[in-house]
Amino acid sequence: MVGWAIAVHGGAGVDPGLPVERQEEARRVLERCLRVGAAGLRAGLPAVDVVEMVVRELETDPVFNSGRGSALTRKGTVEMEASIMDGHGRRCGAVSGLTTVKNPVSLARLVMDRSPHSYLAFDGAEEFAREQGVEVVDNSYFITEENMSMLKRAKEANSIMYDYRVPAPGVDSASDGLEGAKVENGPLMNGLRISVYAPETVGCVVVDSNGWCAAATSTGGLMNKMSGRIGDSPLIGSGTYACGDCAVSCTGEGEAIIRSTLARDVAALVEYKGLSLQEAVDYAIKERLDEGMAGLIAVSRNGEVAYGFNTIGMFRGCATEDGFMEVSIW
Amino acid sequence: MTSGSYSHQSKSAVRDRRMGWAIALHGGAGDIPLSLPAERRAPREAALRHCLELGVAALKANRPPLDVVELVVRELENSPCFNAGKGSVLTTNGTVEMEACIMDGNTKKCGAVSGLSTVVNAISLARLVMERTPHIYLAFDGAEAFAREQGVETAHSSHFITPENVERLKNAKEAKRVQIDYTQPIKGAIPSSIGDSQIGTVGCVAVDGHGILASATSTGGLVNKMVGRIGDTPIIGAGTYANSYCAVSATGKGESIIQATVARDVAALMEYKGLSLKEAAAYVIERTPKGNVGLVAVSANGEVTMPFNTTGMFRACATEDGYSEIGIWPSGINGDLEYPNK
C-alpha cells in the first residue's frame, strides 16, 4: 500500500498583474477541488474515478476557463475537448469539438468505457453524448461576457499574426484598458501578451492507495482559435498520459506540448531512463519545449508529486495522504 | 539545411557510420491471409513497387525527406488498393472520414487533419496546416473550410468510395463487430463476394544522407467506425512521429497504438535507453497485444526496420547501399520478394 497523492492545475501562464481577489478566488477553488479529491481517495475510490470527479468540479466552476468560461473560437463559439487515461491498463478516452456537453471529461470517460474507440470528435461526439444521456446545455451557457471581451482583445492583438512567435506591429497597445493589469508588455503566451492571455486548461493527476495512477485534462482550447483546431489536451501522450509508473497532465502552448509529446516524455524519462519523477519533469520542461511555454503536474506510483513550468505562474495544488496540502500560483 | 540541424544529431550516427538515404513505406498491417488470391495481391505489390520507385527517385534527386514522404503518401492515397484517400474504408453511416499526419524530424513541426470527406489528398492538407496556420491539428468542418480557403483539390464522395468498401461495411455490420482493416472471415459469418478485408492505413518514412528525417501517415480509419471516431494516425506520437533519432509510421488497431504511444516510444527507447532502431521497434511491437500493430521506421544513420505482430503488413523499403524489399508476410514465408536495387 502506498500513500495516495493528488495534484490539480488550473492552467499555466498567469498575468503577474492579476488582481489579488482573483488570485484568492482561484486558490479557494483549487483547495475545494483538492478536498473533493482527497475525500474520494480516503473513501477508497480508484484513481480514474477521482480524476474525473475533480476535473468535473474544475469544469463546472467558471473561475477556470474550461467548460463554462471556455475560450472562444474566432467565430465566437465554444469548442471543448478533454481526455482521461487510466494508468491501470493504459486505457484512455478523449473528445474534441464539443459544443453542448456540460462536462467534457465525463464524455471522454464514457468513450473509454462504453465505446469501442478511444477518441470521438465533433458531430460524432455530440451524437454519442445524446445516446449516453449526458447533461447537455445550449452553447450560450459556456459564453461569458468576460470571454467575449477577451476574444475581442485577442482579435485586436492577433489580427495579422500567423507565426505567433513573431510579434505583429501594434501588439504592444493590446493590453491597454485591461482592468487591474499592471504589466504593459509581458511575454507572449499562445500569441497573446500575458496581460491579455488567460490559461484555458484544467487537469488532475492522482495515485491511489493501490499505487494506480490516472490523469485527466479538459479545456476550451485557445482564445480566437480556428474552428476545428484541436490542441494538446485530448491527445494522449501530449496533454495527458498515465501508465504504471506515473500520471501527467499538461497546460500551456498546445502546439509546443504536442511537438514535444510532453506527457509521454515525462513518463518515458522515468520508465526508460530511470529518472525520478521530479528529475523527469524538470528535464522535460527544460529540454523538450524549445521556445514553447508550458507547465505540467505529475504523480508517481510511489506517492510523489511534482510540478514543472517555464511560464510565469501556474495555478496548481496538491494533497497527500499524510495531510499535506498546498495551493500556489507563482 | 542549416548546420544547426547537425548539432542535435544522434550520437548513434557517429557510432555507426552507415550513412545514406533510406525510405520505407507501408500499405497497412493486419490479418492478411496467406491464401490471398493473386488478383488481390498483384495490384497491391505493383502499387508498393511504384511508390517505392517514386520515393527512391526523389531521394536520389536530393528532395527533402518531408517532400518525399508527402509525395509517396499522396501516391498511396490515390491508389484504390489501400485504405487512404481513394479506397478509404467507410464509417457506420457509409461515409468517408479521412485523417492524416506529417512530421518533420528536423524541426519537430507537424500537421494533422481528421474528419475529411472531400479532400483528395489529406496528407497535403496536413502539410498546409503545419506550414500555413499557427496550429497543428484541424478537424471536420474546420478542416474542410481550411481546405477550401487553401484551394486544395476536392472531390465528391464517389471519388473515394469503392464497391469493395461498400461490401466490407456490409460484412462488418453483419458480423456486428468493428474490425481492424484486416480480419479473417468469422466462422458462420456471411461470406462476402470479395472474400477479404485486406486493406489498411498507408505511411512513409524517409531519411536523407544528412540524417534529416520525416514521417507521414494517412488513412480512412476503421471499417464501420462511429462517425467522429479518430484513430492513431493523426495523433503525434501514436501513429506518426519523427525527431532527430528516427521517423516512424504505425498501422493496425488505432486504439492499441494510441495507448502504447507506439511511434514516440520507438524514438524514446533509442534516446533514453540507447537501443538501436531495430531493437527499439521490436521492443515496442512485442509489448503491444499480438495481431494489433506494425510499423515502418528509419533512423538518422540510414537504417530501416519494418516489424509487425500481425499476420502480415504490405510494405517496401530501400536504402542507398542498394538493398530493397517488397513484402507482405514475414520474410521467408513463401511469396515474399526481395529485389536487388537496380
Tell me what the mean pLDDT of segment A20-37 comes to.
96
Size of interface A-B (CB pairs under 8 A): 153
Architecture in CATH of B6-338: 4-Layer Sandwich (3.60)
DSSP state of B322: S
Confidence of residue A123 (pLDDT cuts 50, 70, 90): very high
How far apart are alpha carbons A221 and A230 in whole angstroms? 8
Cβ count within 10 A of residue B194 = 16
Q: Which of B129, B140, B293 to mutate to test the interface with A (most CBs of A within 10 A)?
A: B140
Which has more pLDDT, B189 or A202? A202
DSSP letter, residue B324: E
> How far, in Å, CA of B114 to CA of B117, rounded?
9
Domain boundaries along the sequence of chain A: 5-140+197-328
Q: C-alpha cell of A207?
A: 495515485
Q: What angle do CA B84, B85, B86 make, to 5 degrees?
A: 105
**CA–CA dist A36, B186 (Å, integer):** 48
Q: Is A120 on the interface with B (CB under 8 A)?
A: yes
What sign does the dihedral A104-A271-B248-A251 (CA atoms) show? Answer: positive
- Angle at A78 (CA atoms; ends A77, A81), nearest 5 degrees: 150
Which of A116, A255, A272 is closest, CB to CB, to B268?
A272
DSSP letter at B305 equals: E
Residue type, B97: E
pLDDT in tens, A130-174: 999 999 999 888 888 888 888 888 888 764 333 333 333 333 333
Q: Note the pLDDT of residue B177.
A: 59
Side-chain half-sphere exposure of B320, counting CA atoms within 13 A: 20
CATH of A5-140+197-328, one of 3.30.930.10, 3.30.70.890, 3.90.980.10, 3.60.20.30: 3.60.20.30
**Chain A residues 241-300 with a CB less than 8 Å from chain B:** 241, 254-255, 258-261, 264-265, 268-269, 272-273, 290
Q: Compute the distance between CA of residue A288 and CA of residue A284 in angstroms, rounded to an integer.
A: 5
Closest by CA position to A233, among listed A211, A256, A216: A216
Amino acid at A271: E
The grid coordinates listed for A195 are 496581460
pLDDT digits (tens, 9 = 90+) for B267-307: 999 999 999 999 999 999 999 999 999 999 999 999 999 99
CA B116 to chain CA mean position, Å: 17
User: Which burial class, exposed, middle or buried, applies to A330 when counting CB atoms under 10 A from its CB (0-12, 13-18, 19+)?
Assistant: exposed
- Cell numbers representing residue B289 in the block: 497485444
Q: Which entry of B183, B201, B261, B311 is annotated as an active-site residue?
A: B201
The model carries a pTM of 0.90
Measured between CB atoms, does A96 come within 8 Å of chain B? Answer: yes
Question: What residue ranges in B75-120 does DSSP mark as E strands?
Answer: 98-104, 109-116
Q: Is A232 annotated among the ligand-binding residues?
A: yes
pLDDT confidence band for B333 (50 / 70 / 90) = low
Average pLDDT for A95-106: 96
Q: B273 to chain A, minimum CA–CA distance in Å?
A: 6
Tell me whether residues B134 and A162 touch, CB distance under 8 A. yes
Distance CA B112, CA A255 (A): 11
- What pLDDT, in 10s, does the model give residues B198-221? 446 999 999 999 999 999 999 999
What are the chain B neighbours of A255 within 8 Å (beta carbons)? 134-136
ipTM: 0.90
- Rounded alpha-carbon distances, angstroms, from residue B273 to A191, A245, A274, B31: 36, 16, 9, 32
A313 is annotated as contributing to ligand binding: no
Q: Which residues of chain B lie closer than 8 angstroms to A265, CB-CB? A: 264, 268
* pLDDT band, residue B265 (cuts 50/70/90): very high
A254 labelled as ligand-binding?
yes
Tell the residue number behind the cell numbers 467534457, with chain if given: A104
Task: Choose the mutation target among B119, B177, B255, B261 for the interface with A, i.e. most A CBs under 10 Å.
Answer: B261
Identify the pLDDT of residue A61. Answer: 87
Residues of B in contact with A115 (CB under 8 A): 226
- Contact indicator for A126, A98 with CB cutoff of 8 Å: yes
In 3-state terms chain A splits into helix, strand, coil percentages (rounded to 5) of 35, 25, 40
- C-alpha torsion angle, residues B50, B53, B59, B64 (rounded to 10): 0
Tell me the torsion sign for CA atoms A121, A126, A131, A136.
positive
Pick from A35-49, A93-107, A187-201, B140-154: least confident: A187-201
Give the burial class of A279: count Cβ atoms within 10 A of its Cβ; 0-12 exposed, 13-18 middle, 19 or more buried: middle
What secondary structure letter does DSSP report for B173?
H
- Which of B258, B227, B267 is CA-nearest to residue B90? B227
What pLDDT score was predicted for residue A221?
77
CA distance B58 to A197: 44
Is B161 part of any known ligand binding site?
no
* Angle separating helix axes A122-132 and A104-114, nearest 10 degrees: 80
What value does the CA radius of gyration of chain A take, rounded to a whole number of Å?
18
Strand partners, A306: A298
Phi, psi of A293 (to 5 degrees): -115, 125
In the predicted structure, residue A240 carries a pLDDT above the cut 60: yes
